[in-house]
């Protein structure tokens, strides 16, 4: 048995020996070879076999090293190792595929694992204590788990799966390590990525080859390059945009030649050239920019640029503004560009500045001999946040201009001096700068517009864009075409129309949208005639239009506001009903979305608008108005509610708690206005009233006070009126305060309640004031909290006397106004502050109170004040009044009087009133 086994085994060994030499000799370039193999394999089978490869190569490397170390003598040892490796592999069913792969690319070793199993018994015999338990022909002999292994001649042995042997431990540890990384040395994601890159690069190359050879373009999937880039025009002649603009831009660019190439040669002095030569750039422009960097280093670089900016400094920056539609070849126009900066990506001004400077000042490192033309794309985007971009550019340009201005002055100066000054201006502009933007009139572009030459790129005409369908935007056209091509479908109009992908996000203004909804106008028709769109396409168009706008609340508001103004034919109001139904559903949907925050439901909003369009759109242009009425309604009702709230806070809570807004508006206000204006109230003197009338009046006044409503002069500025000595014209209009009458003042509505006469209002106003003061006093005297201690009372008494004197005095001054009614008010109030605030509260159109407060605020001039007082006393007509008042104050323990002087109050009956009568 053993011998039988030995014979083939010896052969095998021999063969293996040679083979091992082979492996050994290949040792150095073994690894690269494998790697290459892998790569090729990957190209064919990118996913199935590729995954565990690096590990495999590592293993094989280990193997070869070990063979090198131990030489070829101890083949058994090698075999053992091989075997252990193989065993391990056998265990990992995951790696089976890898095994096969490995077997495939290294056929000489294919036999080894198979063979050594046969030789195993031999090895076992050589080293019985070590190998005893590892392999056996009988599974029973092996402790623990085992696995059956079959040799090439059908021999079957069982191999132990685990062993504590040291030489097996190594790979085991290794495996553990691998397990940590998921069996691989590198994470699988990275590997996949790498492979993808490789596959992509390969495919890309192939594609390039294809395009180079102009072979079949039917190979469809390889054109990974976007068509937009692939078919971007390479020369000016290919451009689609307006010829004239193209030529102008070209001309402008040509104008730079003098400054970039020509003049420099002329103006650069020899020493500079020699200095520059050290930078050893073969091309002229490169030398020039080398000079720039050199210059930056602060070394004396005395070159002048006499004619550098001579041609036109104002054309220095050119705004290539194509603001009509994006990508009307704006970016493609400038093709000899080498540095392109997308300003909207590099938001911060700092990075932008450094980029610009880099682009302008540093030469292109590549050997092609073109100077740099700086193109800044999406400059309007740069302004949104950074705002710095324009400033940077401006700074550059302005610096140049300054330099130009300085130049004549500095001609006499030495060149070095000049250069040192220039050295501070680190940023100079020697290159054309092209800015591209969508919106020329973006506010932040304003400064740039002044210094730049503006080219406008209009939408390419339809004749020029042959294949245009996506809103004349070439880029989206191309993208759509490519997308369709991918699907390998024949192009028909309907499908093109139904492509949502082709449409870029076009947002229009609201007015545009309303116009589109209400008008089946020419623009739509023209479009549908050119592209043969049917209703379906129209729907798509409207849908994208509306959903791009998004603000459905406003959109629907605008529709609601305007649709009734259209003169659509609707005899039975059916269309109108449907429209309003649509609006209603849209409204409740909107509310639902807002409440539940399920914004995705907004997708169902546009169809409402489209349905409305189907119903009522007309051919002629509608007269759209911005929807104001809902806003107005909200603002007004808020205003009204505020008014009510304020009023409520003035009314005592016992009443106001019942006075909710709804109750007020529904029930209260109409009746209240009626009650406020009793028709029985005659405009006569109060004392002529009958008892019943007096009762009525008293009740009315009571009501007005408790609901804190009064009349006020609608011509504001009562103080001013008082200073004009209270001319009667100011009193002409008295309105309710707060103006609750507004609540029923509907448009085209004649309120049912009456209006009181002016005189009556004045009587009421006066009575209400009187009543209110009385009530406040009684309320205060009842209120125990307001009492203050004696000493402060004393001080206030003197002050109050003074106050009282002023009152008398000012009354006398105003004597020529013939006050018809003088009211003296007993003031229980001890606290000076309270009095002061009270006197402010008293009807403010009396100049007396105004003066009182005014004078009290200025106690610093008491002398003149008393002078006036004496003067006032001299006027005899009022003498007795003040005397009497003084007596009264003495009598009443210095309880002060408040004199209230009503101006402009007319009463038909005159009657002399004694102050005494008024004192209770």
Partner 1 sequence: MLWVDKYRPRVLDKITVHEEIAQNLKKLVSEQDCPHLLFYGPPGSGKKTMVMALLKEMFGASAEKVKLEQKAWKIDAGTRTIELELAMLASTHHVELNPSDAGFQDRYIVQEIIKEMAKNRPIDSKGKKGFKVLVLNEVDKLSKEAQHSLRRTMEKYSSSCRLILCCNSSSRVTEAVRSRCLNVRLNAPSAEQIIEVLELIAKKESLQLPPGFAARLAAQSNRSLRRAILSFETCRVQQYPFTVNQAIPPLDWEQYVSEICSDIMKEQSPKRLFQVRGKIYELLVNCIPPEIILKKLLSELLKKLDSELKHEVCHWAAYYEHRMRLGQKAIFHIEAFVAKFMSIYKAFLIATFG
Instruction: Write out the binding residues for partner 1, residues 582-641 only, by CB under 8 A.
Output: 583-585, 587-588, 590-592, 594, 629-630, 632-633, 636-637, 640-641
Segment contacting partner 1 by CB under 8 A, of 340-348, 580-588, 596-604, 878-886 = 580-588
Contact residue for partner 1 among 140, 212, 573, 863 (CB under 8 A)? 573
Two structure tokens written together for 885: 């008042």
Complete DSSP assignment for 224-260: -S-HHHHTS--SGGG--S-HHHHHHHHHHHHHHHIII
Contact residue for partner 1 among 581, 755, 867, 891 (CB under 8 A)? 581
Least distance (Å) between residue 529 CB and partner 1:
31
Longest Cα–Cα distance in the chain: 160
Least distance (Å) between residue 626 CB and partner 1:
16
Q: Phi-psi bin for 106: left (phi > 0), alpha (psi -120 to 50), beta? A: beta
Q: Which of residues 734-753 bind partner 1 (CB under 8 A)?
A: 742-744, 746-749, 751-753
Of 541 and 664, which has the nearer Cβ to partner 1? 664
Least distance (Å) between residue 694 CB and partner 1:
14
Segment contacting partner 1 by CB under 8 A, of 329-337, 480-488, 604-612, 672-680 = 672-680
Q: Which of residues 691-720 bind partner 1 (CB under 8 A)?
A: 696, 702-703, 706-707
β-strands 452-456, 317-321: how paired? Answer: parallel
In sequence order, the 6+-apart residues with CB closer than 8 A to the CB of 443 are: 383
**Structural element, H or E, at residue 711:** strand 710-713
Least distance (Å) between residue 590 CB and partner 1:
7
352 alpha carbon, distance to own chain's centre: 21
Contact residue for partner 1 among 514, 668, 711, 901 (CB under 8 A)? 668
Least distance (Å) between residue 545 CB and partner 1:
22
Contact residue for partner 1 among 196, 667, 787, 867 (CB under 8 A)? 667
Two structure tokens written together for 689: 């009233």
Of 327 and 608, which has the nearer Cβ to partner 1? 608
**Cis preceding linkage at 23, omega within 30:** no
**Structural element, H or E, at residue 900:** strand 897-901
Least distance (Å) between residue 47 CB and partner 1:
46
Q: Which residues of 270-279 are buried (b: 16+ CB within 10 A; e: fewer)?
A: eebeebbeee
Least distance (Å) between residue 517 CB and partner 1:
16
**Is the CB of residue 469 less than 8 Å from the CB of residue 409?**
no
**Is the CB of residue 450 less than 8 Å from the CB of residue 314?**
no
Neighbours of 707 (CB within 10 A): 20
Two structure tokens written together for 773: 């003061």
Segment contacting partner 1 by CB under 8 A, of 154-162, 420-428, 657-665, 716-724 = 657-665
Output phi, psi for 629, to 5 deg.
-65, -35
Least distance (Å) between residue 658 CB and partner 1:
6
Least distance (Å) between residue 642 CB and partner 1:
11
616 alpha carbon, distance to own chain's centre: 36
Site string for partner 1, 750-769 (x = CB under 8 A): -xxx----------------
Least distance (Å) between residue 589 CB and partner 1:
8
Of 357 and 681, which has the nearer Cβ to partner 1? 681
d(CA 620, CA 638): 38
Site string for partner 1, 778-817 (x = CB under 8 A): ----------------------------------------
Segment contacting partner 1 by CB under 8 A, of 71-79, 461-469, 674-682, 856-864 = 674-682
**Is the CB of residue 43 less than 8 Å from the CB of residue 74?**
no
Least distance (Å) between residue 557 CB and partner 1:
8
Of 226 and 655, which has the nearer Cβ to partner 1? 655
d(CA 584, CA 594): 15
Residue with tokens 């009503």: 902
Contact residue for partner 1 among 107, 679, 784, 785 (CB under 8 A)? 679
The residue among 293, 303, 334 whose CA lies nearest residue 317 is 334
Segment contacting partner 1 by CB under 8 A, of 84-92, 209-217, 327-335, 563-571 = 563-571
């Amino acid at each position: 048995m053993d011998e039988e086994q030995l014979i083939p085994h010896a052969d095998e060994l021999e063969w293996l020996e040679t083979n091992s030499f082979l492996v050994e000799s290949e040792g150095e370039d073994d690894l690269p070879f494998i790697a290459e193999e892998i790569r090729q394999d990957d190209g064919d089978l990118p996913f199935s076999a590729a995954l565990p490869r690096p590990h495999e190569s590592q293993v094989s490397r280990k193997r070869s090293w070990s063979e090198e170390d131990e030489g070829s003598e101890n083949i058994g040892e090698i075999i053992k190792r091989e075997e252990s490796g193989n065993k391990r592999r056998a265990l990992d069913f995951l790696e089976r595929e890898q095994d096969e792969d490995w077997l495939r690319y290294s056929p000489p070793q294919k036999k080894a694992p198979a063979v050594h199993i046969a030789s195993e018994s031999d090895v076992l015999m050589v080293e019985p204590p070590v190998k005893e338990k590892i392999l056996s022909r009988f599974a029973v002999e092996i402790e623990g788990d085992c696995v059956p292994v079959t040799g090439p001649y059908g021999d079957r042995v069982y191999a132990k799966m685990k062993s504590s042997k040291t030489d097996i431990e190594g790979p085991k540890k290794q495996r553990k390590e691998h397990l940590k990384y998921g069996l691989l040395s590198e994470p699988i994601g990275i590997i996949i990525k790498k492979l993808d890159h490789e596959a992509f690069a390969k495919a890309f190359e192939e594609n390039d080859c294809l395009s180079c050879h102009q072979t079949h373009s039917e190979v469809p999937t390889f054109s990974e390059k976007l068509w937009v880039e692939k078919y971007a025009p390479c020369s000016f002649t290919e451009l689609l945009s307006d010829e004239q603009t193209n030529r102008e831009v070209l001309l402008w660019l040509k104008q730079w030649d003098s400054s970039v190439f020509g003049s420099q040669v002329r103006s650069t002095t020899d020493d500079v050239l020699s200095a520059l030569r050290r930078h050893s750039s073969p091309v002229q422009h490169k030398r020039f920019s080398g000079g720039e960097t050199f210059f930056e280093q602060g070394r004396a670089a005395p070159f002048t640029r006499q004619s550098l900016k001579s041609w036109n400094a104002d054309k220095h920056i050119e705004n290539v503004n194509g603001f009509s539609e994006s990508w009307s070849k704006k970016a493609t126009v400038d093709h000899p560009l080498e540095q392109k900066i997308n300003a909207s990506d590099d938001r911060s001004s700092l990075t932008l500045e450094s980029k610009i400077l880099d682009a302008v000042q540093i030469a292109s490192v590549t050997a092609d001999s073109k100077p740099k033309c700086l193109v800044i794309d999406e400059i309007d985007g740069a302004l949104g946040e950074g705002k710095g971009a324009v400033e940077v550019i401006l700074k550059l340009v302005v610096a140049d201009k300054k330099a130009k201005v300085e130049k004549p002055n500095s001609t006499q100066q030495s060149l070095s001096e000049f250069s040192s000054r220039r050295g501070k201006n680190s940023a100079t502009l020697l290159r054309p700068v092209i800015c591209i933007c969508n919106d020329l009139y973006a506010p932040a572009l304003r400064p740039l517009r002044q210094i730049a030459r503006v080219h406008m790129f209009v939408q390419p005409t339809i004749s020029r864009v042959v294949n245009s369908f996506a809103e004349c935007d070439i880029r989206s056209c191309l993208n759509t075409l490519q997308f369709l091509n991918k699907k390998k479908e024949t192009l028909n109009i309907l499908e093109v129309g139904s492509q949502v992908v082709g449409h870029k996000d076009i947002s229009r203004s609201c007015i545009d949208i309303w116009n589109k909804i209400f008008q089946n106008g020419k623009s739509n028709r023209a479009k549908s005639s050119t592209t043969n769109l049917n209703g379906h396409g129209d729907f798509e168009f409207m849908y994208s239009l509306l959903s791009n706008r998004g603000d459905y609340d406003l959109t629907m508001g605008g529709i609601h506001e305007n649709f009734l103004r259209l003169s659509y034919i609707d005899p039975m109001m059916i269309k109108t009903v449907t429209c309003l139904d649509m609006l209603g559903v849209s409204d409740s949907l909107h509310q639902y979305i807002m409440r539940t925050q399920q914004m995705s439901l907004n997708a169902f909003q546009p169809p409402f608008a489209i349905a409305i369009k189907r119903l009522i759109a007309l051919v002629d242009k509608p007269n759209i108005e911005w929807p104001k009425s809902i806003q107005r309604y909200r603002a007004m009702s808020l205003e009204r509610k505020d008014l009510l709230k304020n009023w409520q806070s003035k009314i005592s809570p016992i009443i106001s708690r019942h006075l909710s807004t709804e109750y007020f508006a529904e029930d209260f206000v109409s009746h209240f206005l009626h009650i406020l204006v009793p028709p029985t109230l005659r405009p006569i003197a109060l004392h002529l009233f009958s008892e019943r009338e007096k009762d009525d009046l008293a009740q009315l006044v009571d009501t007005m006070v408790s609901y804190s409503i009064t009349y006020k002069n609608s011509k504001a500025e009562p103080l001013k009126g008082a200073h004009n000595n209270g001319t009667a014209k100011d009193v002409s209009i008295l309105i309710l305060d707060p103006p609750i009458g507004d609540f029923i003042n509907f448009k085209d509505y004649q309120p049912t309640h009456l209006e009181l006469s002016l005189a009556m209002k004045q009587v009421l106003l006066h009575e209400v004031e009187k009543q209110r003061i009385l009530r406040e006093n009684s309320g205060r005297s009842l209120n125990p909290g307001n009492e203050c201690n004696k000493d402060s009372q004393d001080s206030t008494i003197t002050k109050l006397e003074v106050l009282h004197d002023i009152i008398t005095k000012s009354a006398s001054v105003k004597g020529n106004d013939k006050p018809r009614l003088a009211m003296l008010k007993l003031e229980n109030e001890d606290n000076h502050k309270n009095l002061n605030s009270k006197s402010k509260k008293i009807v403010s159109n009396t100049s007396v109170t105004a003066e009182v407060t005014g004078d009290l605020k200025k106690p610093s001039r008491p002398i003149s004040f008393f002078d006036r007082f004496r003067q006032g006393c001299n006027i005899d007509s009022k003498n007795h009044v003040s005397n009497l008042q003084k007596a009264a104050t003495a009598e009443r323990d210095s309880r002060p009087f408040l004199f209230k002087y009503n101006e402009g109050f007319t009463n038909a009956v005159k009657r002399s009133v004694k102050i005494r009568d008024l004192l209770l």
